[in-house]
Structure 1
Amino acid sequence: MSGPVPLGDQAAVPSRIATVSLHTSPLDQPGTGDAGGLNVYVVEVARRMAERGVAVDVFTRATKPSLPAVVELAPGVNVRHVHAGPYGRLDKNTLAEHLCPFIFGMMRTEAQAEPGHYDLVHGHYWLSGKAGVVAARRWGVPMVQSMHTMARVKNAALAEGDSPEPEDRVRGEDQLVRQADRLIANTEDEALQLSDFYGARPEQLHTIPPGVDLDTFSPGSRAEALERIGLHRDTHLLLFVGRVQRLKAPDVLIRAAAELLEQEPSLRDRLVVGVVGGLSGGGMHEPRMLTDLARSLGVADVVRLEPPQDRRRLADFYRAATVTVVPSYSESFGLVAVESQACGTPVVAARVGGLSTAVSDRVSGVLVDGHDPRHYAAELHRLIREPAWHARLAEAAPEHAATLSWSRTVDDLLDVYRSALTPRALPLAEAACR
């Protein structure tokens, strides 16, 4: 669902992009706090843009006074720390109060360079977009926006006990959709949500799926991977990877494991439920949610909680798993699902948002309607008890993941950037504040 613009032979190519990731730094470890798939996206795209000769400056908020003003992430990619508001990690709902000093920091950086230093601004998440659209207006360049998640979509699918996104965010996203020159959706489903929930115009929308690092995330011996992460070779590892919060629903996996053991107690000696990730969002206020739940269900002995892992270690967790479970209530894409499949491990995921694109149902994994633990337990049981079914999905999983490469993502983004830099059918982004 996109509005293609004829590029022609003389289509402009950006030389330097200002990428805005205000609330979370690309230097942060994904899987804890506010760091997740967005961080991976920003890093992977920036690196590959630089390899194609497009320099990238990533603007993010400084969380410590000791942070260097500029950190080179890769050749051609600089992370610029902007001092805005108190140091430390702030709740995303309070960050809007510190937009002005963040914007001023971006302006100062550009003012110290030659005129026309940046050709384009790309914002990630709504707060970044609010800052980015002001900078784009000031510099006279196009504004491209990736939402990643949206308040109205999240509020329509809240987990029990979770808090809705604030109205300020809803209004901010409404305004941003009107102001952006181009909107990048991860999937056709997200493009429809931008249109249906926010009134995005067809000529703004471009659907570009994220990718996966196929060099890091690749198939390997499950038995050897199990040993490397400290488990016996005959273990059935049911894996959850991601931020620990109600939205991501790791509790659904623990409840499903309890159902599974009730159906077949003989699995207990070989079953491990692995949760790899750190507390985030509302989970920060209930740090014992999973341990208390596991204890109450009588499965504390099979639950293993692990902190976020570096990429190569994470790949071993995926390879070691019998299945990766992604039971989220809302996902704009579901990068975990693609990484798992790239490692040859099938996925059982909720049929929500971008997971319908990330997982090929009954080919590379299984999509489940709703969040009833019994339904997840049934699919997990089948994957454990039917080796031929598991092998079929495991064989197709890397093939499906290979269709989602970062190189393809960057190629498509460059096409959108070029279209935005040609004489535009859309007006230049309006100011964020009037």
Structure 2
Amino acid sequence: MKLGFFAYSLSGAGPRTRARTLIEALANRTDHKLVVVTGPDEDYNHPRVERRRIDAVPTGLVAGISTVRRAFTDVDVVHVPVNIYQVMYVRAVYHGPLVSGAGIQHTLPYRNLAKLLNIDYIIETHERVARLWERSGFKSTYIYPAVNETEFREYSQDECEKVRKRLNMSPEDDIILFVGSLTEFKGAHLVSQLARRLENENVSIIVAGDGPLREQFRNRPNILYQGFVDNEDLPSLYNAADVTLVPSESESFSIVSVESAACGTPVVTTTQDGTMVRLFRDRRAYRWTERSVDGLLDAVHDLLNNPETSYAQSRRGREAIEEMGLTIADTLDQHLAICEAAIDNH
């Protein structure tokens, strides 16, 4: 099978990063042919992937149409993982089997547009939304976002010490990690307040992310502010940390929690909604606390001061990843089956 992918960017977070992980897994673990069309600033390259670029928006989109047409001339199916606008762009010149990612909202305007664009299969990350698409007459299923287990893995003690040395942190330091947008919705303000409460303790907080609250994290004595961090650089931060905080108001999935658990780092979260939280909670793979600075402080102190408790949660997190099939190896066959179904459904 020859698979086409269109993603203007494969860098960043969310569907773009998941698409990159999927493409790399297909290239490294299968014999399928791959052609990928991206924007001009994407530096992704793989020896087994045929790569095409279109120029920058908006002027480059017109000239890029011919590039897309040539790239997808002989593919069996095209996967557009990011949003409806990129689906529209591809559909202008490609009329074969097409799979869409979870970037399409299940609202009446989008449903009508999806029918007009003749999307053959929609992949969702939430079971409930996939069922809604099915009830609306579309072929749809859900696949949990997965992590690349060769990258998001538990480091050896020597590897962890090397990472801490690179970060100018001692092996004896207690380290808390926050990964995400620096917004109140994600709980960044609580992380900032927590840092103030911990200033007199031997605890440092690594902050990996960007957003409107970024100034709260600059030039703080116990905060190592990293700004936005590429996905490929996150495993070392998870492994350097003793605890990962996910103090969001709500989380539909929380890929940060999955990545942290895959690296063996305990997770403290303040949200109880979303598919992933429910599944992880059943396995006691998260540490839940109320959404307050006091709640976070108590949970963090408990994990940092009780190595046995921390280790037990770390093991439960790793076991949950394996039991729930949240590695790219587990989901690869699902993606290929959907591509074949899209071909049959077209």
Q: Deviations over 1:380-423 (max 9, x none)?
A: 2322233322111012222222331112222101111111112x
In the alignment, what sits opposite 1:409?
Answer: 331
What pairs with 1:19-418 in structure 2 (closer than 5 Å)?
19-22=5-8, 25-26=9-10, 28=11, 35-50=12-27, 51-63=29-41, 73-85=45-57, 102=61, 105-106=64-65, 108-112=66-70, 116-126=73-83, 127-132=85-90, 134-135=91-92, 138-148=93-103, 150=105, 173-178=110-115, 179-191=118-130, 195=132, 201=136, 204-220=139-155, 221=157, 222=160, 225-258=163-196, 261=197, 268-277=200-209, 279=210, 283=211, 286=212, 289-292=213-216, 300-309=220-229, 313-329=233-249, 331-349=251-269, 350-356=271-277, 359-360=280-281, 363-368=284-289, 371-402=291-322, 403-418=325-340
CA distance, structure 1, for counterparts of residue 278 and residue 258 of structure 2: 10
CA distance, structure 2, for counterparts of residue 357 and residue 57 of structure 1: 37
Task: Kindly provide the amino acid, as one letter, of the partner of residue 328 in structure 1.
Answer: S
Task: Kindly provide the amino acid, as one letter, of the partner of residue 47 in structure 1.
Answer: E
Q: Deviations over 1:227-253 (max 9, x none)?
A: 342212222211012344455332232
Structure 2 residue 9 is the aligned partner of structure 1 residue 16:
no
Task: Kindly provide the amino acid, as one letter, of the partner of residue 119 in structure 1.
Answer: D
* TM-score of the superposed pair, with normalisation by structure 2: 0.82
SS of the residue 1:80 aligns to? strand
Contact 2:272 2:278 in 1 (8 A): no
CA distance, structure 2, for counterparts of residue 301 and residue 361 of structure 1: 38
CA distance, structure 1, for counterparts of residue 294 and residue 343 of structure 2: 51
CA distance, structure 2, for counterparts of residue 78 and residue 351 of structure 1: 42
CA distance, structure 2, for counterparts of residue 190 and residue 330 of structure 1: 17
Larger RCO (alpha carbons 8 Å, 6+ apart): 1
Task: Kindly provide the amino acid, as one letter, of the partner of residue 144 in structure 2.
Answer: P
CA distance, structure 2, for counterparts of residue 112 and residue 238 of structure 1: 49
Q: CA deviation at 1:305?
A: 0.3
Q: Which moved more, 1:198-207 or 1:224-233?
A: 198-207
Q: Deviations over 1:295-344 (max 9, x none)?
A: 9xxxx322220134466653222112111112334545333222211111
Q: CA deviation at 1:273?
A: 1.4
Alpha-carbon RMSD across the aligned residues, in angstroms, is 3.3
Q: CA deviation at 1:183?
A: 1.2
CA distance, structure 2, for counterparts of residue 254 and residue 358 of structure 1: 29
Q: CA deviation at 1:146?
A: 1.1
CA distance, structure 1, for counterparts of residue 31 and residue 171 of structure 2: 46
Contact 1:145 1:182 in 2 (8 A): yes
Q: CA deviation at 1:215?
A: 1.8
CA distance, structure 1, for counterparts of residue 94 and residue 104 of structure 2: 27
Q: Deviations over 1:145-183 (max 9, x none)?
A: 112585x8xxxxxxxxxxxxxxxxx67634444442211
Task: Kindly provide the amino acid, as one letter, of the partner of residue 125 in structure 1.
Answer: V
CA distance, structure 1, for counterparts of residue 250 and residue 87 of structure 2: 21
CA distance, structure 2, for counterparts of residue 302 and residue 224 of structure 1: 20
CA distance, structure 1, for counterparts of residue 62 and residue 76 of structure 2: 17
Change (3 A) 1:324 1:149: farther
Change (3 A) 1:110 1:302: closer
Amino-acid identity (%): 22
Contact 1:216 1:311 in 2 (8 A): no
- The answer for unaligned runs of 5 or more in structure 1 is 1-13, 29-34, 87-97, 153-169, 429-434
CA distance, structure 2, for counterparts of residue 413 and residue 392 of structure 1: 33
Q: Deviations over 1:35-69 (max 9, x none)?
A: 11323211121122234222233333335xxx8xx
Task: Kindly provide the amino acid, as one letter, of the partner of residue 61 in structure 2.
Answer: F
Q: CA deviation at 1:354?
A: 4.7
CA distance, structure 2, for counterparts of residue 213 and residue 375 of structure 1: 32
CA distance, structure 1, for counterparts of residue 259 and residue 47 of structure 2: 25
Following TM superposition, where does structure 1 have runs of at least 4 consecutive aligned residues deviating by more than 6 angstroms? none
Change (3 A) 1:395 1:224: farther
SS of the residue 1:16 aligns to? strand
Task: Kindly provide the amino acid, as one letter, of the partner of residue 120 in structure 1.
Answer: V
Task: Kindly provide the amino acid, as one letter, of the partner of residue 122 in structure 1.
Answer: H
